[in-house]
Amino acid sequence: MILDAQHPLSSGLTADSRLIQAYQGTRPAVTPVWFMRQAGRSLPEYRELRVGTRMLDVCLDPALASEISLQPVRRHNVDAGIFFSDIVVPLKLVGVDVSIVAGKGPVLGKAVRTRADVDELTALDPALLDTALAPISAAVSLAVSQLGSTPLIGFAGAPFTLAAYLVEGGPSKDHIHARALMHVEPDAWAKLMAWTAEVTGRFLRAQVLAGASAAQLFDSWAGALSLADYAASVAPASAAAIAHVRDLTYTVPGAADGAEPAESVETWRNVPIVHFGVGTGELLKEMHNIGADVVGVDYRVPLDEANRRLGGAVPVQGNVDPALLAAPWPVLEAHVRDVLERGRTAPSHVLNLGHGVPPDTDPDVLTRLVNLVHDVSAAE
Ligand code: CP3
């Protein structure tokens, strides 16, 4: 499907931005930078807005969700906004009893542990999201209308990470119940994954249609899986989730100059898709193969090694260790320069953290880091 003419990729507003260039595999003159979890608790203006509110209520309030998405863009001069929401929002909107407990994360009213539980959950009709996602679309449009030429990244949780919360009933260290269900009840597992893929895929598509210029799938807990289990029992569902945005295209002016008269002067592009996981160094190739354009790398695998594992042809995103945000500036600076240097081995590189911004991070360090990345990469 072609994005409508007002979409910032189609209108050209964001299509030439550093972020979209890098995601499309072209190295821009200056390396783009944004931070996972840049919108949130590290910002005093966020904490102020959040007083007396519940996380999921805020996610469903278009004015608040939009404002919080913009806060880090205004403050840090990052090259992208990420939409403020949460991976469990589409579960809530389809009727799952889920809440977000401060300091803990998503907690389910009831864990999905048996075949009967899966049947009960999957009886909730994903088509309900056609109307239930209206506040999300409204929040994205509002944010995009204020971001101008800065792209907004839409996101969703990958089916495994969502299933991990659903089956465990909340946060878990080893995701043992989810991994057990995969083998004890393979049919129920497949049904759960297919349902989750549809729910999260619709959430992602709604954000892109409303104006997001890129889409990121978070498989935060896929690092708990072996490569064999990932490939057989998880990757197909992640591919199905991504398929919800894979068909979305736009055109950019082509190489009109050297073109023969008969040649089209427009080039077709798909909305870039980023796939990120934590502890997924062994899965990088598979994570690319499900239909991603860009692979997000956590802080454990250096980018030159990640690029080697990916065959040298895939744009990478990452991977400053969030722990170093608390280190003395010269230590952090040396680390960031090293990340930039290793990132130069890949076709293109978007600098990010290897996981989210820790809540106690000094926001001034993030602003200084953005300037460093822009200055160092421009000088190369
Ligand atoms: O700036 C951004 O990155 C956009 C906002 C965003 C949130 N959650 C807001 C949030 C994004 C992209 C997410 C994704 C998300 N949510 C993931 C994948 C990314 C990752 O970090 O691995 C996961 C696993 C979740 C589930 C979840 N929701 C967790 C683990 C938590 C944190 C629990 C805590 O309090 O430490 C949440 C809650 C949450 N989501 C908060 C925010 C800002 C904190 C709630 C608050 O501010 O009160």
Contact 376, 337 (CB under 8 A): yes
Amino acid identity of residue 230, one-letter, is Y
Residue 37 alpha carbon to ligand 1 centre in Å: 7
Residues contacting 368, CB < 8 A, separation 6+:
329
In tens, the pLDDT along 304-338 reads: 999 999 999 999 999 999 999 999 999 999 999 99
Q: Which residue has the tokens 């090259």?
A: 79
300 classed as catalytic: no
Confidence (pLDDT) at 266: 83
State which of 38, 51, 87 you would mutate to test the pocket of ligand 1, scoring each by most atoms of that ligand within 8 A of its C-beta: 87
Using CA atoms, how far apart are residues 245 and 294, in angstroms rounded to an integer?
14
Nearest atom, ligand 1, residue 103 CA: 35
Domains along the sequence of the chain with CATH: 18-379 (3.20.20.210)
Confidence (pLDDT) at 9: 98
Residue 36 alpha carbon to ligand 1 centre in Å: 9
Q: Which residue has the tokens 């990478």?
A: 316
Contact 34, 350 (CB under 8 A): yes
Confidence (pLDDT) at 380: 83
165 classed as catalytic: yes
Q: Which residue has the tokens 């129920």?
A: 188
State which of 67, 100, 107 you would mutate to test the pocket of ligand 1, scoring each by most atoms of that ligand within 8 A of its C-beta: 100
Q: Which of 165, 230, 250, 299 is an active site residue?
A: 165
Return phi, psi of residue 352, to 5°: -150, -175
Task: Locate 24 and state its tokens.
Answer: 């499309």
Using CA atoms, how far apart are residues 112 and 124, in angstroms rounded to an integer?
13
Assign 3-class secondary structure to the chain.
CECCCCCCCCCCCCCCCHHHHHHCCCCCCCCCECCCCCCCCCCHHHHHHHCCCCHHHHHCCHHHHHHHHHHHHHHHCCCCEECCCCCCHHHHHHCCCEEEECCCEEEECCCCCCHHHHHHHHCCCHHHHHHHCHHHHHHHHHHHHHHCCCCEEEEEECHHHHHHHHHHCCCCCCCHHHHHHHHHCHHHHHHHHHHHHHHHHHHHHHHHHCCCCEEEEEECCHHHCCHHHHHHHHHHHHHHHHHHHHCCEEEEECCCCCCCCCCCCEEEEECCEEEEECCCHHHHHHHHHCCCCEEECCCCCCHHHHHHHCCCCCCEEEEECHHHHHCCHHHHHHHHHHHHHHHCCCCCEEEEECCCCCCCCCHHHHHHHHHHHHHHHHHC
Confidence (pLDDT) at 253: 80
Task: Give every residue of the chain whose pLDDT is below 50, as ranges.
Answer: none
In tens, the pLDDT along 341-368 reads: 999 999 999 999 999 999 999 999 999 9
**Which residue has the CA at smallest separation from atom 21 of ligand 1?**
356
Residue 184 alpha carbon to ligand 1 centre in Å: 30
Contact 214, 150 (CB under 8 A): no
**Which residue has the CA at smallest separation from atom 30 of ligand 1?**
105
In tens, the pLDDT along 259-282 reads: 555 556 789 999 999 999 999 999
Residue 251 alpha carbon to ligand 1 centre in Å: 33
41 classed as catalytic: yes
Using CA atoms, how far apart are residues 289 and 298, in angstroms rounded to an integer?
18
Confidence (pLDDT) at 261: 54
